[in-house]
Amino acid sequence: MKQYIETVLSGNNLTIEEMKKAAAQIFNPNTSAAAVGGFLTALRAKGEAVSEITGLAQVIRENAVTIQPQMEDLIDNCGTGGDYSQSFNISTTSAFVLAGAGLTVAKHGNRSITSKSGSADVLEQLGIELSATPEHITNALLNNKIAFLFAPHVHPMMKQVMTIRRGLAIPTIFNLIGPLTNPVNLKTQLLGIYRRDLLNTMAEVLHQLGRKRAVVINGAGYLDEASLAGENHCVLLDDGRLKPFTVHPEEVGLPVIENHRIKGGDAKRNAEILLSVLKGEQSVYRDVVLLNAGLGIFASGKVANVKDGVELAKESIDSGAALNSLNGLNKNSY
């Protein structure tokens, strides 16, 4: 590990292969916590490069539980978290809208880290099974167009670095890596990130990981998802090309709403909000889900622009298809 720490401390980026070797040391139980902490801190101070994020993501995926359904149109809409907005579970709610719109969603997520309720917390509140086997996950994707991949179950090796991360008490590369480690081979992705300076970096990482098309977004107010509060900054990855763009809610027929109005609560409260949206109730919660789902549909390439994506998201909810995708994601579908 020493050589990689020295390389990073000198201001040089590690190649993908070097980072993969460093990652092997991170997950080696014989590597000291001090060495791992020093490496992660040095990376944070230098700034994480595309090659370094890619290399770490590849190692985590290579060591994940194998889930490879024979499907070519899979999408995820996971965010990094870390914006401390205390918003309700927007991406989780949006995932069911995407499935209702005809996309196949491999929803990767975890319990709460920087909020009161993570995707796993709210889905558990709704009675969704978190400990599904790879076979069950594949069946859910085939039969219901959505499945939940609970990060601790599909990435057992991550457990050993959690103590080190908590001890550091600062954000590290691991705070960026979650949405990149879905073990399923995704074709497209909507990725939210709390750091606007890393939009291009994360889009390039998605390209390195094999995404054909994706949108990376940092919302107004620096949310890790699209916001109704103003201009959202995005990068479109399309067959290797990166194109920056912005989306304002008024441009897609949605109102401007301050971020504090989309705050959620605990898992029980957020489950109530999720259900209210999928049942078609008019609210600020519905509006922000429409924007995020619209972006996800656009990221998939199913529509030519975000506004059309928002319209398709409305159809998904108002037809009952989004709610049906939730109802299907239960123990019976597994």
Q: Tokens 């900054």 belong to which residue?
A: 233
Q: Is the dihedral of CA 103, 98, 176, 220 positive or negative?
A: positive
92 is in an annotated binding site: yes
What is the C-alpha to C-alpha distance for residues 101 and 304, in angstroms, rounded to an integer?
Answer: 15
CB atoms within 10 A of CB 179: 26
What is the C-alpha to C-alpha distance for residues 4 and 230, in angstroms, rounded to an integer?
Answer: 41
325 is in an annotated binding site: no
263 is in an annotated binding site: no
What is the C-alpha to C-alpha distance for residues 17 and 135, in angstroms, rounded to an integer?
Answer: 32
Instruction: Please tell me the predicted confidence (pLDDT) of residue 132.
Output: 87
Tokens linked to 88: 């309700």
What is the C-alpha to C-alpha distance for residues 296 and 300, in angstroms, rounded to an integer?
Answer: 6
Q: Give the pLDDT of the chain (334 residues) as one tens digit per residue.
A: 999 999 999 999 999 999 999 999 999 999 999 999 999 999 999 999 999 999 999 999 999 999 988 888 999 998 998 777 889 999 999 999 999 999 999 999 888 665 567 889 999 999 998 988 999 999 999 999 999 999 999 999 898 888 888 888 888 999 899 999 999 999 999 999 999 999 999 999 999 999 999 999 999 999 999 999 999 999 999 999 999 999 999 999 999 999 999 999 999 999 999 999 999 999 999 999 999 999 999 999 999 999 999 999 999 999 999 999 999 987 555 5
Instruction: Please tell me the predicted confidence (pLDDT) of residue 170.
Output: 86
319 is in an annotated binding site: no
110 is in an annotated binding site: yes
Tokens linked to 291: 């924007």
54 is in an annotated binding site: no
pLDDT in tens, 38-93: 999 999 999 999 999 999 999 999 999 999 888 889 999 989 987 778 899 999 99
118 is in an annotated binding site: no
Q: CB–CB of 43/8 below 8 Å?
A: yes
119 is in an annotated binding site: yes
pLDDT over 90 for what percent of the chain? Answer: 84
Q: Tokens 């199913």 belong to which residue?
A: 302
**pTM: predicted TM-score of the whole model, two decimal places:** 0.94
250 is in an annotated binding site: no
114 is in an annotated binding site: yes
217 is in an annotated binding site: no
**Phi then psi dihedrals of residue 32, to 5 deg:** -70, 150
Instruction: Kindly report the three-state secondary structure assignment for every residue of the chain.
Output: CHHHHHHHHCCCCCCHHHHHHHHHHHCCCCCCHHHHHHHHHHHHHHCCCHHHHHHHHHHHHHCCCCCCCCCCCEEECCECCCCCCCECCHHHHHHHHHHHCCCEEEEEECCCCCCCCCHHHHHHHCCCCCCCCHHHHHHHHHHHCEEEEEHHHHCHHHHHHHHHHHHHCCCCCHHHHHHHCCCCCCCEEEEECCCHHHHHHHHHHHHHCCCCEEEEEEECCCECCCCCCCCEEEEEEECCEEEEEEECHHHHCCCCCCHHHHECCCHHHHHHHHHHHHCCCCCHHHHHHHHHHHHHHHHHCCCCCHHHHHHHHHHHHHCCHHHHHHHHCCCCCC
CB atoms within 10 A of CB 233: 16
266 is in an annotated binding site: no
283 is in an annotated binding site: no
- Which residues, at least 6 apart from 236, have a Cβ–Cβ distance to it below 8 Å? 203, 213, 214, 215, 242, 243, 244, 245, 299
Instruction: Please tell me the predicted confidence (pLDDT) of residue 238.
Output: 97
253 is in an annotated binding site: no
Instruction: Please tell me the predicted confidence (pLDDT) of residue 115.
Output: 59
What is the C-alpha to C-alpha distance for residues 292 and 217, in angstroms, rounded to an integer?
Answer: 10
Complete domains list, the chain, with CATH: 1-63 (1.20.970.10), 74-154+170-328 (3.40.1030.10)
Q: List the beta bridge partners of residue 218.
A: 233
What is the C-alpha to C-alpha distance for residues 25 and 137, in angstroms, rounded to an integer?
Answer: 31
Most distant CA pair in the chain: distance in Å? 58
224 is in an annotated binding site: yes
pLDDT in tens, 88-129: 999 999 999 999 999 999 999 888 665 567 889 999 999 998
